[in-house]
Amino acid sequence: MKKILSLVLVSVLGGAITLGAYKTLIEEDQKVAIAPQQTTPVYIPTNSTVNTNNLAAMENVSFVTAAEKTVNAVVHVKNVTLGSKQITLQDLFSGRTQQRRQLGTGSGVIISPDGYIITNNHVIEGSEALSVTLNDNKTLEAKIIGSDPKTDIALLKIETDEDLPYTTFGDSDTVKIGEWVLAVGNPFNLTSTVTAGIISAKSRDLSGNANSSQSFLQTDAAVNPGNSGGALVNANGELIGINTAITSQTGSYVGYSFAVPSNIAKKVIQDIMEFGNVQNGILGIIPRSLDSGTAEKLGISETEGIYIEEVEEDSGAYIAGLQEGDIINKIDNIKIKKFSDLKGFLNTKSPNDVVSVSFLRKGYQKETNVTLLKNNTYNIPYIGKLKNAKPKDLRKAGTKFGVKLSQMTSNQIYSNYWYKNGIQPGDIITAINDTEVNSIDDVKNILKNSSEYDPFRIEIINSNGEKERHYFR
CB atoms within 10 A of CB 36: 16
The β-bridge relationship of strands 216-219 and 239-248 is unpaired
* Distance in angstroms (rounded) separating the CA atoms of residues 194 and 61: 16
Give yes or no: 152 in active site: yes
* Distance in angstroms (rounded) separating the CA atoms of residues 442 and 436: 8
Residue 6 parent element (H or E):
helix 2-25
- Cα Rg, the chain, nearest whole Å: 26
Coil, strand or helix: which one is 407?
Answer: strand
Coil, strand or helix: which one is 304?
Answer: coil
Residue 413 · residue 472 · CB < 8 Å: no
Catalytic residue among 152, 220, 271, 427: 152
* Distance in angstroms (rounded) separating the CA atoms of residues 117 and 211: 31
Catalytic residue among 228, 289, 340, 406: 228
Catalytic residue among 107, 122, 252, 271: 122
* Distance in angstroms (rounded) separating the CA atoms of residues 257 and 247: 6
Residue 309 · residue 289 · CB < 8 Å: no
Count of alpha carbons within 13 angstroms of residue 39, beta-carbon side: 11
Active site residues: 122, 152, 228
